[in-house]
Amino acid sequence: MRIRNKLTLVYTSITALLLLCLNFYIYYSASIYIKNNFYGDLKQRALLTAQVYLEQDEMEANLWKQIKDKFLQSIPGEEIRMYDKNNAPAFIDSVSRPIFSDATINRIRTEKYLEFADGKRQTVGIFYTDNQGDFVIIVSAINESGIDRLAYLKEVLVIGFVICLIVVFFSGRFFSGQVLNPMSNIIKRVNKITASNLHLRLDSGNGKDEIAELAVTFNNMLVRLETVFETQKTFVQNASHELRTPLTSLMVQIDVVLQKERSNEEYRETLKSNLIEAEKLSQLTTNLLNLAKSSLDDSKLFIEDVYIDDLLLEVRKEVENQTSGRILKVDYTIPPDSNGLVIKGNKQLLRIAFFNILENACKFSENQEVNILLDCSNAHIKIQIRDHGIGIPETEAEKIFEPFYRASNAYTHAGSGIGLSLTKKIVELHGGKISVFNYPDGGTVFELFFEPLQNASFGNKIM
C-alpha cells in the first residue's frame, strides 16, 4: 500500500474513532439528561396528585382550581397509583395496569423516594404524609417526546458522522498528497541519476522538514558515491597504466632477444633487466593489494595494542637493511618504555605506513641521514620524519597523498605514486593525522599524530 493511502486511512480511522467517542458521549449525555428531566416531571406529577386528592380540604377554591387545571394536563400514556398505609389503592381507580407489588410499595415507603424504569416506561414513587394518613403515590409514563428527540439526535449524529468521514477522507488524501509531493519529486529525480550523471543533486526544499533531511542525506550519499566512482575510475586508469609499463618493457626486451641468437653475456644482461622490471611489477602489485586492504571494513581487521617506538625501530631496521649506507636516526623526547607510546591499531598496516615514509625519505635524499623524532604527551603521540632531499613543490604538497600522483620533481626516482596515498589512509583509519611541509634549509618533514591508548580510537570508534 502506498504511503499516501496509508496516511489517509490512518488519518480517517483516527478521526472516525474520535467522532464515535464524541457522538457516543453526546448521545449518552442527552439520553441521561432527557431521562432525568422526565423523572423530574413525573415527580412533579406525583406531588400534584397528592395536592389534588389529599390537600383539597385545606385549599382555597381559586388555588384548588389552578392545581386541578394543571393536573388535568396529563402526560401522554401516564399511569397514576395511590396506596394507603395498608397498600390498598386509594382515591384512584386501580383496575388498569400497571399494578405495583407490595415489595415495591414498601420500598418507596422506606426510601421516601424511588426512581426506576421498566423498558421504555419510567416510574417515580413518593411517600406523602397528610392529615388523612400516610400514602404512597406512584406515577409512570413513557417519554414519547424524549424518545423521538433521541431518535432524531441519533439520526443527526449518524448522518454527521458519515459526512465528516467523507470530508476527512478526501481532505486527508488531498493534504497527504501535498505533503508527499516533494517525495514524488525526489523519486523522479533519483530515477534520473545513473553512474554517468552522479553530479545531479536533489532539491532539499525548505530544508526544515524530514523530507528535506532525506534529500540532504541522499545528496551526501551521492557526494560519497561520486567520490568513490571517481576514485575507482582514476584507480583503474592509473593502475592499468602503471602495470602496462613494466609489462611492456618485459615483452619488448624478450622480443628483441628472441629475434636472433645472442651471447651468454647478452642473455644474462637481458635477464637482469627483466628481473628489475619484474621486481617493479611485484612491488606495484603489492602496493595495489595494500591499498585495497586499507579500504577494508575496519571491523574485520585484527586490532591490538601497538607500541609505536618498538614498531618504528623494527621498520627502521628493515629500511636500513634494504640498501647499505642508509642512516635513520631516532630521537626520543620521552623514555622509550613510556606507556604513552601505545595505541590501538593493526600492526601490519602501521608497519606499511611507516615503511613507506621512511623508504621515501631515504630514496629522495639519496640515502642521506633521516631524522626521526618521537614525542608523546597526554593529548597525542607525534612522529616527525625529516629528510635532506629534493623537497616537494609548494603547490603540490597536498596532492602527493592522492593515488598515483607523483610530484613534478620525483620522476627521476622509481616509484608508483601509491605509497603516500596508502599511508594517509592507514593513518586516518587509526584516527590519526598526517601532514607535510618543506624544511627551510632543504628537505621534507612529515608529521604524524596519533591518540595514545587512554584516548585511542580506531575507525572513528572509541576502543
Q: Is the pLDDT of residue 227 over 80?
A: no
Residue 366 sits in a domain whose CATH number is 3.30.565.10
Query: Regarding predicted confidence, which is higher, 192 or 417?
Result: 192
Burial class (CB in 10 A: 0-12, 13-18, 19+), 312: buried
Q: Give the model's pLDDT for residue 64.
A: 53
Chain segment 245-262, per-residue pLDDT in tens: 677 778 887 888 888 888
Q: Is the pLDDT of residue 458 over 70?
A: no
Residues 306 and 446 placed together within one structural domain of the fold: yes
Residues 389 and 444 placed together within one structural domain of the fold: yes
Residues 245 and 138 placed together within one structural domain of the fold: no
Residues 101 and 130 placed together within one structural domain of the fold: yes
pTM, entire model: 0.48
Structural contact between residues 79 and 98, judged by C-beta atoms closer than 8 angstroms: yes
In-domain check, residue 155: no
Chain segment 18-36, per-residue pLDDT in tens: 999 999 999 999 999 999 9
In-domain check, residue 182: no
Chain segment 324-368, per-residue pLDDT in tens: 666 777 776 665 555 667 888 888 888 888 888 888 888 777 777
C-alpha cell at 392: 616537494
Chain segment 117-164, per-residue pLDDT in tens: 988 889 999 999 887 888 999 988 999 999 999 999 999 999 999 999
Residues 64 and 132 placed together within one structural domain of the fold: yes
Residues in the chain: 463
Q: Which strand (E) or helix (H) includes residue 413?
A: none
Separation of alpha carbons 452 and 440, rounded Å: 30
Contacts of 297 (CB under 8 A, 6+ apart): none
Q: Give the model's pLDDT for residue 216.
A: 82
Residues 423 and 446 placed together within one structural domain of the fold: yes
How much is the average pLDDT of 380-405?
77
Domain interval for residue 236: 210-292
Phi, psi of 100 (to 5 degrees): -100, 145
Residues 350 and 248 placed together within one structural domain of the fold: no
- Counted domains in the chain: 3
Binned at pLDDT 50, 70 and 90, residue 63 comes out as: low
Residues 25 and 120 placed together within one structural domain of the fold: yes
Residues 304 and 285 placed together within one structural domain of the fold: no
Q: Is the pLDDT of residue 457 over 50?
A: no
Q: Give the model's pLDDT for residue 160.
A: 93
Chain segment 422-453, per-residue pLDDT in tens: 788 888 888 899 888 887 777 888 899 998 87
pLDDT more than 90, % of the chain: 16
Binned at pLDDT 50, 70 and 90, residue 460 comes out as: very low
Q: What is the dihedral of CA 343, 304, 429, 438, to 10 degrees?
A: 40
Most confident of 157-171, 194-208, 211-225, 374-388: 157-171
How much is the average pLDDT of 164-171?
90
In the predicted model, what is the mean pLDDT of the chain?
A: 78
Most confident of 49-53, 98-102, 119-123, 323-327: 119-123
Nearest-CA neighbor of 23 among 170, 146, 169, 155? 155
Q: Is the pLDDT of residue 463 over 50?
A: no
Binned at pLDDT 50, 70 and 90, residue 240 comes out as: low
Helices within 55-101 (DSSP H only)? 61-72
